[in-house]
Amino acid sequence: MPDNDETGGRSQLPAKASSERTHALARAQSQAISLDVRSPDAAATGDEIDLLSYWRILVKRRWTVLGAAAIVVASALVATLLTTPVYRASVSMQIERDNVKVLDIGATQNENAYDYEFYTTQYELLRSRALAQRVAADLGLTDQAQLDRLVAPSTWGRVTSVFNRADEETEPTEQDLEALQARLTGVISGGLTVTPVRDTKLVLISFDSVDPAFAARAANAVADAFIATSLERRLGSSGYAKEYLEDRLSELKLKLEDSERKLVEFAQKEQIISSSGSTGTLSEQNLESLNGAIGQARQDRIKAEARWRQAQASRGTVLLGEIGENSIITSLQERRATLMAEYQDKLRLYKPAYPLMQQLKGQIDEVEKQIADEVGNIKSAIQAEFLAAQEQEKLLAEQMASLRTEVLDLQGRSIQYNIFKREVDTNRELYDGLLQRYKEIGVAAGVTVNNISVVDRAEGAGKFKPDLRRNLLMGLFAGLVLGVLLALVFEFLDDTLKSVDDVEKQLGLAVLGVIPKLKPPMTPAAALEDPRSAFSESYRSVRTALQFSTDTGVPRCLLVTSATPSEGKSTTALTLAKNFAQLGKKVLIIDSDLRNPSLHRALGVENGRGLSNYLAGAAKATEVIRATDIPHLMFMPTGPLPPNPAELLMGPRLLTLLSIAAEKFDQVIIDGPPVMGLADAPILSNVATGTLLIVEAGQTRVAVARDAVKRLVAARAHVVGTLLTKFSAKHAGGHGYGGYNYYSYGGADEAKKLTRE
């Protein structure tokens, strides 16, 4: 190869290579922008909760979740088995409203308005310290031995009890007795549970103890003590009310006697007589009676006056009303009518002067005279009746005037009398009411009706805790929650790139392929020997993806690099070179890692002369390019490792080498060093027409990978995409990439064996 070709500058690149670099620069700039500015879709969905991603995290770290759950369940099981059993006995009681009233003054109130306060008070009385002390005394809990038997000692209590045995025979002090009494009361209060039954008047009294027999005894004792306390409280209140009423009765009795005495003395002094059973004095009663008599006399006088005027107005003997009531006049009128009829009958035969007619005429006149006399007598009687009624009214009116004066005078003198009388009446009503209530309370105190009753007594105690099933379920739930939290914490603390989504989201680069992880002792070389394996097919898929990575196909000069060492870049470069060679292309693979070369060992080629010799001007390109056992594949090793790799790569001979290689070979693949910490990879990416970034799943950190991409973009490299290597199904967490059986079209079982972890 002529020297002038080897020392040519960048202007000696072919036109095709220059076009590719122009496209590379434009894409590098767009990638630099994409690393700093997120897409609108990503920003819009940043606040949304992706439940599927959380599910993938849990599937990926399922062993963490299951392990935490197993540990918590095992701890709950051990704690349950080591816990002293506690037994519970229950008593059902009915509590009614207490309607006994000490004083009933006619006030009305809605008793249901205080039901809540009443029942709450009863429940608090059940939990009171006084009741607990009474129950402790009723059960005979008086010494430390009984207390130790009823309370399960803790581990620390067992240890301290060994050292305190020497003090057991000492005489307890007053403070020790008070402390013991407080502890005994605490045992009763601590074991007691009061549970109201909803929408009923029932309450459930439960007692927990390590001794089942004592639990039943204590529950029944609490119920009995509460009933006894309620009765004592009722009797105490009745006795207090009775004493109070007795005092009030004595006071009212004295006041009543004093007021009655004042009333009698004042009545005697003022000559005021009050009839028994009446509210007024005797004069007032007489005045009231006389007033009624005057009214009746006035009516009688008016009636008599009307009859007298009627009698005066009548002419002759025509007094129809009176005649109708007088039988004599009626018979005389009948006699006259008979004589008149006979006279008229005889008048047809005789003349009026005839003696017989004269006789009849005389008889008729006599009868008429008798009728006139009777009518006169009736008028006289009516007149006499009228005069008598008139005189009687006058006399009653005179007596009424005299009695009215007397009553008015008496009323003036009865003002103080009425005051004394009202005081007497008030004191008598109060005295009678209190006396009646005093008798009722005496009867009620004797009856002593109880408003609290036991419905079901405690006949035995059942095991209450520990509940093995409940504790295991709670432990399982707590363990799962803890495991999920640990899984999420581990996942968010893990800042490595684990899946295709992570790479695309964090780096903004397309993933051209995913290489499965091999299970030791399987090696990449051994896996590639089987062309049907998932490992081989995944690299063929990458080869196909590279053909569509640019608008001109596979970059003519492709740099394979990674952010850090040992991510699989050398294996990828060699495998891609072999795959392109299998297509019949002339392929040159250059090992440009002048610090840690490895391709010469994989190809079995001696590394005595190579790239370093060419870059230093000590050899020509044709002298350092070696043939391999693989058809169409040529190899340029690194040669001796120089002390200044970056300075050699910065020289013009590298660009000349790549320009000539692009003309002589169909595909040039460069195995470059890692990007981070070295200047070699950015230099190589600048002169290459395309760069493939290798990312190891689950190992490459996000920050490191992003810094590597930024360095490549800053070097104006054309990063065609990334390749995710050493990928395992656990990295995806059920994302859908696990297994890669679809890569192995003929050997699914073999692929599982190669890729399974």
Give the pLDDT of residue 34. Answer: 42
- Same structural domain for residues 616 and 750? yes
Structure token pair of residue 342: 């006979």
Give the pLDDT of residue 49. Answer: 67
Averaged in consecutive runs of 10 residues, what is the pLDDT profile of the chain (757 residues)? 37 40 45 40 52 82 90 90 85 76 44 68 87 82 66 55 51 67 79 87 87 85 87 70 75 82 76 58 67 79 79 58 62 84 83 83 84 79 81 78 70 72 83 77 57 82 82 92 90 83 89 88 82 87 88 90 91 92 93 91 89 91 90 93 89 90 93 90 92 91 92 93 85 50 46 45
- Same structural domain for residues 635 and 534? yes
Contact between residue 689 and residue 721 where contact means Cβ atoms under 8 Å apart: no
- Whole-angstrom distance, CA of residue 498 vs CA of residue 561: 18
> What Å distances lie between residue 188 and 29, 594, 654, CA to CA?
81, 84, 93
- Same structural domain for residues 286 and 396? yes
Structure token pair of residue 555: 């970059």
Strand intervals (E) in 197-274: 202-209
18 assigned to some structural domain = yes
Q: Are strands 667-671 and 452-456 parallel, antiparallel or unpaired?
A: unpaired
- Same structural domain for residues 509 and 578? yes
- Same structural domain for residues 390 and 373? yes
Contact between residue 151 and residue 187 where contact means Cβ atoms under 8 Å apart: yes
Spell out the residues 6+ positions from residue 241 whose beta carbon is closer than 8 angstroms to its own. Answer: 102, 441
Give the pLDDT of residue 160. Answer: 57
Q: Which long-range contacts does 193-197 make (Cβ < 8 Å, 24+ apart)?
A: 193/88, 194/123, 194/126, 194/127, 196/119, 196/123, 197/92
- Whole-angstrom distance, CA of residue 39 vs CA of residue 699: 26
Give the pLDDT of residue 143. Answer: 64
- Same structural domain for residues 652 and 504? yes
Contact between residue 665 and residue 694 where contact means Cβ atoms under 8 Å apart: no
268 assigned to some structural domain = no
Structure token pair of residue 462: 């059942």
- Same structural domain for residues 572 and 703? yes
Q: Model's pTM, two decimal places?
A: 0.52
**What Rg, from alpha-carbon coordinates, does the chain have?**
66
388 assigned to some structural domain = yes
Contact between residue 725 and residue 695 where contact means Cβ atoms under 8 Å apart: yes
Q: Bridge-partner residues for 668, per DSSP?
A: 557, 588
Contact between residue 512 and residue 546 where contact means Cβ atoms under 8 Å apart: yes
- Same structural domain for residues 473 and 528? no
| Count of structural domains, the chain | 3
237 assigned to some structural domain = no
Helix axes 468-493, 51-60, angle to 10 degrees: 100
Residue 450 per-residue DSSP state: -
Peptide bond before 196: cis, by omega within 30 degrees of 0?
Answer: no
- Grouping H, G, I as helix, E, B as strand and the rest as coil, residue 623 is helix
Structural domain boundaries enclosing 635: 13-38+51-56+495-755
Structure token pair of residue 311: 């009698």
- Which CATH number is 302's domain given? 1.10.287
215 assigned to some structural domain = no
Give the pLDDT of residue 449. Answer: 58
185 assigned to some structural domain = no
Q: Given 431, 455, 490, which residue is the final one in a domain?
A: 490
- Same structural domain for residues 74 and 18? no
Residue 576 CA from chain centroid, whole number: 63
3-state SS, 279-325, equals CCEHHHHHHHHHHHHHHHHHHHHHHHHHHHHHHHHCCCCCCHHHHHH
Q: Given 390, 413, 436, which residue is the final one in a domain?
A: 413
197 assigned to some structural domain = no
- Same structural domain for residues 19 and 68? no
540 assigned to some structural domain = yes
Give the pLDDT of residue 709. Answer: 94
- Same structural domain for residues 485 and 512? no
- Same structural domain for residues 405 and 506? no
Spell out the residues 6+ positions from residue 741 whose beta carbon is closer than 8 angstroms to its own. Answer: 534, 748, 751, 752
- Whole-angstrom distance, CA of residue 318 vs CA of residue 314: 6
- Whole-angstrom distance, CA of residue 709 vs CA of residue 296: 134
CB atoms closer than 10 angstroms to residue 648: 21
- Which CATH number is 524's domain given? 3.40.50.300
